[in-house]
A and B are shown apart, each in its own frame.
Chain A
Amino acid sequence: MRQQYAVRSLIIVAGLVLVGLAVVVQMIRIQSSEQALIFLSQGDRYAGEFQMYYPERGEIYDRNGHLLAGNRTVYEVGVTLSEVDNPDSMAYILSTYLGLTYEEVHNKLTASPEDWEYVVVQDYVGMETVESLQQLISQLDDAEDPRLNGLAFKPHLQRSYPENALASNVLGFVTRDGRGYFGIEEKYNDLLAGNPVQIWVPRDPNKATEIPRVPNGTTLVLTLNRDLQAQVETILDEALVDYGAQNGAVIVMDPRNGEILAMASTPRMNLNNYGNYFSLYDNGSQYNSSIGMAYEPGSVIKVLTMAAALDTGTVRPDTTFIDTGSIEVGGITVQNWNREAWGQQNMIGCLQHSLNVCLAWVATQMGTQSFYGYMERFGIGHPTGVDLAGEAMGRLKIPGDGDWYSVDLGTNAFGQGVSVTPLQMMMAVSSITNGGKMVTPHVLYSMLRDGHQYNVPSQYAGSPISPQTAQTLNEMLALSLEQESSQALLPGYRLAGKTGTAQIPTEYGYDPWHTNVSFIGWGPVDDPQFMVYVWLQQPSTSIWSSETAAPVFSQVAEQTVILLNIPPDIVRSQAATK
């Protein structure tokens, strides 16, 4: 009996072992079959997904911490097609809320390819619209109404400019593909945008820590002073109206370190509606004429001619010149702006009355090699290296060029036949206010990344003249402005500067009716803390710089001393003696 049980037990055990073995064999067979590989690959496919992480674009601040360019949340409104209950109702509702046509939405919901699971109805939808839609969905859910089933909102960031058009010519803009155009946005696009990273995001929570952190784009702090920028833009806009000018540009720079405090030009556009670009500008050089448009500056360049002549010892402030009203250079007669003779003048008088004949004579006394050598050292004909996209080089013809003639020596000396940008002129003239050293203009003050601050140091672009020459010319230009009783003067502050009225070259010679007027000035003369350049294109109320650009300079200087807290000369001298 006992033996029978033992046999039965053995049979049962053997049976169970066989079943167990069969299970194991079947498991191995299934796992190594071709179908198993398909299942494995399907499993891998759903184990996670590749996601592109776009870092938050770095913000842009002015030097006082005011936000000039930030980011705001917008939404991609899409629909999961398989969940749509009633395409007609959904198309009607979405077209009403999103400002699209019914047909447009309906087509997306019904005529999308069959294998599409999700369709984007509209992107860059504002938060207010999405909140309204979410409220409606909530109400429909409460009523168990499925009309908006499948509607989804995916948030993402979009560039936003709180100041709208303020400093638009400096900032540039970012299109929806995330690329910066013009100004800071283009120049520092790589820094601002950061590095997009494609990451495998596992659904397995055990692998959550494997998702790397994507650092945001670098935040930039600019040298611009927002309040001064606003004032300068207002003054420029009013000047265009007051003087009937077509366009204009005004720059305010700290001549000690090249920091650009304000840079305004027209036209400007609301950066939040960058689609208006093509209706406002014919070409890219117009976007920021302060750096993008080179023009014949006229008499403001006499400052550089005189600087070169003083530095070479060709003339001194008291050198006399008998102005007969004309001079022949290279076989061509050069005349003064009023075609009159001004008699005996010293060099201060030549600058004060802006005498072409005198400055042409000065250039001929210096000689071709010396004159053009200095112009090269002043950076004329070369980009300044300002950290803004779209800088023009200007043009300085030099002996040896096919289109250079002997008369160019005389005309270049008073700003004809040579083209510069306003910023080039400021960089060159900074040598006079800065003890002979030229500063490289720049807009970037500091970069902020991962909690660290990287300040941008000032850079010098050479020393074209000696400190003595700079000091002498600084005083000469202050005197000439005072003796002229210029409209550029500002009560309480001793300023220096130079007007420039330039005829406009055309295909048929110089336009006899229109001019470009400019003024470059700085102050206070004993300690220059600001330099202003004004350029008005084709003013109609007067063709003269002294009656148009000079008063604009005075207005800008007035706002500059207020906003930069620069006390009047008498207060500064009292403070210095204490």
Chain B
Amino acid sequence: MQATQIIHAYKQAPWRVQRQWIGAFLLFVIGAAMIAALYLDVTARTSVAGREIQELRSQITTIQRGNADLETRLADLTSTAVMRQRALELGYRPVQPGELDYVAVPGFVPPEPAILLAAEDTSPQVQTLPAEYTQSLLEWFDERIKFGGPR
């Protein structure tokens, strides 16, 4: 009898109800804080990645310009006039028709220039960004709930 009364009194104690409210409130605050922290973390990482993309784009432009420069410089160094001059300096002279020997090679096909060979092998690759760069926070939650991790 006494024990039942104590339990009853405990359940009806006003401070206990207050604690329940406080607990619920704190739970809500902690949950909200966690979501906020997660949101901030994802947003910050997205921003960093975005900045890296911008920098990479800039680097690509610089490298492409550098490539164009190098290609033109190489063409300067191997231009007809330069090569002819170098050949003469090395003691070569233009060949005369009677000095040539021709060898018939059945089935021989002259190779295509490198510029054309490179083009044939290249096809545009479909580049996909990782999900981290495209999905929203809600989509990320949805994916975690449905699949327990990234697909």
Chain A interfacial positions (CB closer than 8 Å to B): 56, 59, 61, 63-67, 70-73, 127, 155, 157, 160, 162-164, 166, 204-209, 211, 219, 221, 226-227, 230, 446, 448, 450-453, 490-492, 558, 561-562, 565, 567-568, 571, 574-575, 578
Contact = CB atoms under 8 A, between A and B. Distances in A.
For B76, B81, B119, B124, the residue with the greatest tally of chain A CB atoms inside 10 Å of its CB is B119
Contact of A226 (B65, B71, B80): B80
B1 interface: no
B123 A56 contact: no
For A72, A226, A452, the residue with the greatest tally of chain B CB atoms inside 10 Å of its CB is A72
A56 B63 CA distance: 13
A56 B69 CA distance: 12
B104 A578 contact: yes
A52 to B, nearest CB: 14
A204 B43 CA distance: 12
B85 interface: no
A159 to B, nearest CB: 10
A61 B113 contact: yes
B135 interface: no
A162 B68 contact: no
20 contacts: A61-B115, A67-B71, A72-B69, A73-B69, A155-B62, A164-B79, A164-B81, A205-B51, A206-B46, A206-B50, A208-B53, A448-B115, A448-B119, A451-B119, A452-B119, A452-B123, A492-B97, A562-B100, A567-B102, A575-B104
B114 interface: yes
A456 B23 CA distance: 79
Contacts of A127: 69
Chain B: number of interface residues, binned into ranges: 35 or more
Contacts of A567: 102, 104
A65 B79 contact: no
A448 B72 CA distance: 18
Contacts of A207: 50
B13 interface: no
Contact of A65 (B57, B97, B114): B114
Contacts of A571: 102, 104
Interface string B56-85: 010000101110110111111011110010
Contacts of A490: 97
Nearest to B76: A162
Which 10 pairs from chain A and chain B are nearest by CB?
Answer: A205-B50, A65-B113, A451-B122, A162-B75, A67-B75, A575-B104, A567-B102, A70-B72, A208-B50, A208-B53
Contacts of B75: 66-67, 70, 162-163
Contacts of B104: 567, 571, 574-575, 578
Given A206-B46, A230-B80, 6 more contacts: A70-B68, A162-B76, A207-B50, A221-B115, A490-B97, A567-B102
B90 interface: no
B142 to A, nearest CB: 20
Contacts of B129: 209
B28 interface: no
A65 B69 contact: no
B120 interface: yes
B21 interface: no
A562 B65 contact: no
Contacts of A166: 79-81
A56 B72 CA distance: 13
For B68, B74, B100, the residue with the greatest tally of chain A CB atoms inside 10 Å of its CB is B68
Contacts of B78: 66
Given A230-B80, A451-B123, A162 B100 contact: no
Contacts of B124: 450-451
A450 B53 CA distance: 22
* Secondary structure of the B contact surface, majority rule: helix
Interface in B30-49: 43, 46-49
B6 interface: no
Nearest to A65: B113
Contacts of A155: 62, 65
A216 to B, nearest CB: 8
B80 A56 contact: no
Contacts of B97: 490-492, 558, 561-562, 568
A157 B100 contact: no
Given A561-B97, A571-B102, A221 B65 contact: no
A211 B57 contact: yes
B65 A206 contact: no
Contact of A453 (B68, B72, B120): B120
A517 B75 CA distance: 36
Contacts of B46: 205-206
B95 interface: yes
A490 B97 CA distance: 10
A208 B80 contact: no
Contacts of B76: 162
Contacts of A561: 97
A160 B72 contact: yes
Given A163-B80, A205-B47, A63 B113 contact: yes
Contacts of A448: 115-116, 119
B141 interface: no
Contact of A227 (B54, B66, B80, B116): B80
B50 A71 contact: no
Nearest to B84: A230
Contacts of A66: 75, 78
A64 B112 CA distance: 7
Contacts of A72: 68-69, 72-73
B2 to A, nearest CB: 30
Contacts of A451: 119, 122-124
A65 B115 contact: yes
Contacts of A157: 65, 68
B53 A205 contact: yes
A73 B65 contact: yes
B61 to A, nearest CB: 9
A208 B51 contact: yes
A20 B129 CA distance: 44
Nearest to B50: A205
Contacts of B25: none
B113 A64 contact: yes
